């Protein structure tokens, strides 16, 4: 008989206790008593993510949401069923307070870190159920800051509930076929009935998680001017009291590259009853708090997908043998994996810097220049971590050889799901322009300088001190570039490089800061290795731009 070889699959350890970097970060930034209080919960969620949810995810691979538009007797029903994992994820999300934690604020400004540590553990095992959760969090915050007491009272307790049977999720219906980046040209209209009820008419082109109970959306009240300022923000409940859809038709579910468990629909609004949240104008501004939150979720879920891909690749490398050794002892494979680990740490630290700032903001504890940092970091963290995630997950797939390309390993879905992260919640270009042109760039850069200075304040290790200086120099280079290229077309053309370079400068400083702490408090030198390696990657992408010359190529 021929010898038979069966490869051991990669295995996941408890996603909390097995994640040394996450745990070290939490030890560094959280008060010890708080960490002790939340560790059992994180351990339980880390176990669920590695065992029950991950197993269900693999078993559930071929289940996708189904839209049934008509019942047997010809009635339009537009009913959507979601996958078994999604149903379980909804329960876990409510019970673990994935939204509630941020609103209960048990740990003051650290509550957002607590919440997002859970999101980080939950996300990779739940088939992007974090999409509706992100929008739910965003809707709760947007309603809270809107000051609309009736809507706050009706929706926020449901959006933040820990009781699965009571918890709601929310959609965010902005994108129309005219454009998701330029929502100012949206065509949806809002008209008032004689009794004053607002009704919405139009088509929403990408509406994720259409199973949500409510949505925040934009429409133009009749008679309002064109452009973003003429749009208003509306609150819509998707179903009426009898359980039927509220003047909404689900035309079809999108057939997507990834996020295939997320029911993303094209909707027709045909007289959907809606409530005006605030002003009859300036809806794009009113919905802004939603975007701050969803972009934070995007950053954290980018880091989480990276962590999952690296955890699986490292586990596999310990099992798989080639040329007489495990992959984990082959120097070039180790180099490859080390690079992925470093990018993952850098993305994690930037994402959690944003999380920490959001938490401080909500607690009213931002220091002097931190509002400008929060403003600038929101687009930068989203765009940079999403790009890092696609690169890291793609390389991690290769680390499995052919197995990484085979569907029932579950690995291809990881890459496909990651690929959405640079697209939704603002594409890389659109967010680069938001960071660079929308205002606040100069105070934002000053705030990045002071944040880097804070990271460098207590550096003892000479190599780290040099890297900290390098981080500051990168920001100087950005300022120099802007001075030399300040005209509008060049600033647009260079916006991506400016945003990415600022983001990587901050990532370097955060790696350096963490590394010094890790040596001092934990005698762990891996942080130095990470910072040194990160600094050796291309950090600045600034270069001379000539928009006219570029046009010759397109
Ligand atoms: C799986 C999935 C789910 C989604 N769910 C939702 C949802 O629930 N709700 C919702 O509202 N939307 C949703 N979207 C839509 C998403 O937010 C948009 O696709 C995205 O904002 C881009 O808009 P667009 O598709 O119209 O592309 P466009 O706006 O047409 O952009 C096309 C390209 O042009 C570039 N571009 C645009 N403007 C500029 C500029 N000024 N300078 C340089 N480059 C530019 C963009 O970067 C992009 O590469 C979802 C999308 C996906 C893929």
Give per-residue burial for 127-136: e unless 16+ CB within 10 Å, then b.
Answer: bbbbbbbbbb
Nearest Cα neighbor of 28 from 119, 110, 116 is 110
- Residue 529: alpha-carbon gap to chain centroid: 27
CA of 264 to the centre of ligand 1 (A): 14
| Residue 205 CB less than 6 A away from ligand 1 | no
pLDDT at 154: 98
> Which of 30-34, 370-374, 546-550 has the weakest average pLDDT?
546-550
Say if residue 440's pLDDT is above 90.
no
Tens digits of residue pLDDT in 227-277: 999 999 999 999 999 999 999 999 999 999 999 999 999 999 999 999 999
**How many Cα atoms occupy the beta-carbon half-sphere of 313 within 13 Å?**
28
**How many Cα atoms occupy the beta-carbon half-sphere of 406 within 13 Å?**
8
Q: Which protein residue's CA is at the shortest distance from atom 44 of ligand 1? A: 429
Say if residue 209's pLDDT is above 80.
no
Residues 6+ away with beta carbon under 8 Å from 24: 514, 518, 522, 524
pLDDT at 1: 75
Strands (E), 362-499: none
pLDDT at 85: 97
| Residue 173 CB less than 6 A away from ligand 1 | yes
What integer is the mean pLDDT of 201-219? 95
What integer is the mean pLDDT of 161-170? 98
Give the residue, out of 206, 438, 490, with the most ligand 1 atoms within 8 A of its beta carbon, to mutate for a pocket test. 206
How far apart CA 396 and CA 515 sit, in angstroms, is: 25
> Taking a C-beta distance cutoff of 8 angstroms, is the pair 119, 96 a contact?
no
| Residue 207 CB less than 6 A away from ligand 1 | yes
| Pure H helices in 105-235 | 111-122, 130-146, 149-159
pLDDT at 156: 98
pLDDT at 2: 86
CA 428 to ligand 1: nearest atom: 47
Nearest Cα neighbor of 123 from 260, 305, 294, 290 is 305
CA distances (Å), origin 212, targets 63, 132, 173: 19, 7, 11
> Taking a C-beta distance cutoff of 8 angstroms, is the pair 117, 97 a contact?
no
What integer is the mean pLDDT of 78-96? 97
Q: Which protein residue's CA is at the shortest distance from atom 52 of ligand 1? A: 424
Q: What is the DSSP letter of 511?
A: H
pLDDT at 210: 81
CA R_g for the chain: 24
Say if residue 462's pLDDT is above 90.
yes
CA distances (Å), origin 82, targets 254, 273, 433, 505: 14, 25, 36, 42
CA of 420 to the centre of ligand 1 (A): 10
| Residue 256 CB less than 6 A away from ligand 1 | yes
Tens digits of residue pLDDT in 509-532: 999 999 999 999 999 999 999 999
Say if residue 487's pLDDT is above 90.
no
Strands (E), 401-458: none
Say if residue 373's pLDDT is above 80.
yes
> Taking a C-beta distance cutoff of 8 angstroms, is the pair 500, 384 a contact?
yes
Say if residue 361's pLDDT is above 90.
yes
Say if residue 546's pLDDT is above 80.
yes
Q: Which protein residue's CA is at the shortest distance from atom 13 of ligand 1? A: 206
In the block, residue with structure tokens 């029932």: 408
User: How long is the chain?
Assistant: 554
Give me the phi and psi of 526, to 5 degrees please: -65, -25
Q: Which protein residue's CA is at the shortest distance from atom 2 of ligand 1? A: 424
CA of 291 to the centre of ligand 1 (A): 14
How far apart CA 333 and CA 314 sit, in angstroms, is: 10
CA of 41 to the centre of ligand 1 (A): 36
Report the share of the chain in percent with pLDDT over 90. Answer: 98
What integer is the mean pLDDT of 537-553? 94
Q: What is the DSSP letter of 125?
A: G
Q: Which protein residue's CA is at the shortest distance from atom 7 of ligand 1? A: 207
Report the share of the chain in percent with pLDDT over 70. Answer: 100
| Residue 420 CB less than 6 A away from ligand 1 | yes
Give me the phi and psi of 419, to 5 degrees please: -65, -15
pLDDT at 439: 85
CA of 422 to the centre of ligand 1 (A): 9
pLDDT at 528: 97
Say if residue 218's pLDDT is above 90.
yes
| Residue 189 CB less than 6 A away from ligand 1 | no
For the chain, the straight-line distance linking the first and the last C-alpha, in angstroms and rounded, comes to 60
| Residue 349 CB less than 6 A away from ligand 1 | no
Tens digits of residue pLDDT in 23-64: 999 999 999 999 999 999 999 999 999 999 999 999 999 999
How far apart CA 253 and CA 530 sit, in angstroms, is: 43
Count of H-run helices and E-run strands, the chain = 19, 11
pLDDT at 298: 98
CA of 206 to the centre of ligand 1 (A): 9
> Taking a C-beta distance cutoff of 8 angstroms, is the pair 206, 425 a contact?
no
Q: What is the DSSP letter of 245?
A: B
Q: Which protein residue's CA is at the shortest distance from atom 18 of ligand 1? A: 180
**How many Cα atoms occupy the beta-carbon half-sphere of 137 within 13 Å?**
28
> Taking a C-beta distance cutoff of 8 angstroms, is the pair 214, 248 a contact?
no
Angle between helices 488-522 and 428-437 in degrees, nearest 10: 90
pLDDT at 36: 98
């Amino acid at each position: 008989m021929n010898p038979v070889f069966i490869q051991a699959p990669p295995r996941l350890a408890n996603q909390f206790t097995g994640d040394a970097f996450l745990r070290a970060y939490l030890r560094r930034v959280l008060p010890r008593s708080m960490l002790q209080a939340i560790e059992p919960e994180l351990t339980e969620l880390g176990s669920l993510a590695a065992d029950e949810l991950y197993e269900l995810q693999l078993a559930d691979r071929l289940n996708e949401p189904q839209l049934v538009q008509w019942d047997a007797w010809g009635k339009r029903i537009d009913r959507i069923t979601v996958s078994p994992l999604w149903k379980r994820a909804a329960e876990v999300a409510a019970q673990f307070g994935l939204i509630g934690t941020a609103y209960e604020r048990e740990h003051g400004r650290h509550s957002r870190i607590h919440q997002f540590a859970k999101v980080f553990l939950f996300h990779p095992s739940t088939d992007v159920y974090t999409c509706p959760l992100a929008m739910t969090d965003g809707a709760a915050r947007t309603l809270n800051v809107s000051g609309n007491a009736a809507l706050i009272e009706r929706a926020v307790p449901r959006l933040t509930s820990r009781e699965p049977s009571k918890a709601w999720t929310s959609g965010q219906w902005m994108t129309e076929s005219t454009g998701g980046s330029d929502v100012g040209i949206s065509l949806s209209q809002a008209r008032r009935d004689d009794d004053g009820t607002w009704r919405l008419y139009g088509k929403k082109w990408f509406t994720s998680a259409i199973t949500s109970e409510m949505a925040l959306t934009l429409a133009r009240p009749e008679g309002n001017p064109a452009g973003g300022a003429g749009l208003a923000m509306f609150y819509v409940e998707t179903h009426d009291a009898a359980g039927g859809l509220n003047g909404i038709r689900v035309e079809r579910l999108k057939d997507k590259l990834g996020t295939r468990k997320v029911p993303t629909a094209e909707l027709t609004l045909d007289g959907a009853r809606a409530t005006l949240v605030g002003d009859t104008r300036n809806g794009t501004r009113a919905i802004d708090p939603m975007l701050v939150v969803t972009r934070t979720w995007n950053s954290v879920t980018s880091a989480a997908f990276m962590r999952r891909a690296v955890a699986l690749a490292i586990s596999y490398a310990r099992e798989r043998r080639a040329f007489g050794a495990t992959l984990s002892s082959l120097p070039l494979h180790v180099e490859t994996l080390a690079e992925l680990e470093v990018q993952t740490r850098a993305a994690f630290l930037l994402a959690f810097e944003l999380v920490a700032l959001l938490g401080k903001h909500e607690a009213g504890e931002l220091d002097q220049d931190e509002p400008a940092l929060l403003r600038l970091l929101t687009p930068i963290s989203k765009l940079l971590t999403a790009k890092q995630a696609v690169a890291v997950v793609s390389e991690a797939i290769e680390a499995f050889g052919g197995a990484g390309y085979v569907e029932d390993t579950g690995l291809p879905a990881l890459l496909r799901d990651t690929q959405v992260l640079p697209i939704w919640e603002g594409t890389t270009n659109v967010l680069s322009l938001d960071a660079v042109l929308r205002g606040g760039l100069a105070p934002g850069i000053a705030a990045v300088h002071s944040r880097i200075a804070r990271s460098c304040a207590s550096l003892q290790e000479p190599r780290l001190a040099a890297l900290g200086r390098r981080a500051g120099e990168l920001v100087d280079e950005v300022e120099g570039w802007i001075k030399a290229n300040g005209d509008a077309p060049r600033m647009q053309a260079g916006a991506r490089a400016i945003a990415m370079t600022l983001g990587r400068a901050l990532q370097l400083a955060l790696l350096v800061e963490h590394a010094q702490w890790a040596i001092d408090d934990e005698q762990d030198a891996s942080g130095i290795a990470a910072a040194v390696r990160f600094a050796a990657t291309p950090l600045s992408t600034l270069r001379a731009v000539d928009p006219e010359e570029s046009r010759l190529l397109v």
